[in-house]
A and B are shown apart, each in its own frame.
Chain A
């Protein structure tokens, strides 16, 4: 699914990354806790979060996450936008709550970037 389609489904605003709307995204991870993202998310996924502080951008950068979708209409600070531009991470923004966002995108075919959490010795972050 293209980033532009995700924007349309969720009636989202593109805050950063107008030039990246053709980006193809197939998986997603939803969380407000960045340690969980750091533990379980995979590169190339869409991060759905209500955490609108610079830490979510820096977390996305650490893992090569494709784009961030900020949900619940959380207000974005200038600093958040600035860091997203600097680190080159597309930001979409929607008023839908995370439950609706995950539900709608799942229905349209996005899958979780990991399905189940299992004990793993695998140290690679794919």
Chain B
């Protein structure tokens, strides 16, 4: 994780709170726009945080997303407490999903979440202890 001097914001996410899903992504996007970060970079960060947020809402009790802006990179660190991920390899495969219908009717749960995050990250790391929670780090280089 980058040092605290680069910490831009911490966002709290409540599990199963589907109504506001995406709000953190919108807020992060707004704050990056104010900083004059290039648009194509902002779009990638917005997609990454959106999917991380939806994952937390769908599969955790609660979690945080931390945003770091360093001179040469933006880092998104997402940590949650909850069921975690049973098989991390499998979870990253496009199309693999354990979503229920409530998630699908919301427009998510098609098994693209982690695949999307990976697709738009320059560096992508994920760890999980099933039953404990999941930790995801995504870096987008500037």
List the interface of chain A (C-beta within 8 A of B). Answer: 32-36, 38-39, 43, 49, 51, 53-56, 58-59, 61-64, 79, 87, 123-126
Contacts and interface: CB of A to CB of B under 8 A. Distances in A.
30 contacts: A33-B108, A33-B112, A34-B106, A34-B107, A35-B54, A35-B113, A36-B112, A38-B47, A38-B50, A38-B116, A39-B116, A43-B39, A51-B106, A53-B107, A55-B106, A58-B22, A58-B26, A59-B50, A61-B46, A62-B25, A62-B50, A63-B46, A64-B39, A64-B43, A123-B44, A123-B119, A123-B122, A124-B40, A124-B44, A125-B120
A51 B110 CA distance: 14
Contacts of A59: 22, 50, 107
A51 B119 contact: no
A125 B47 contact: yes
Given A59-B50, A61-B26, A123-B122, A39 B112 contact: yes
Interface of B: 19-23, 25-26, 29, 39-40, 43-44, 46-47, 50-51, 54, 106-113, 115-116, 119-122
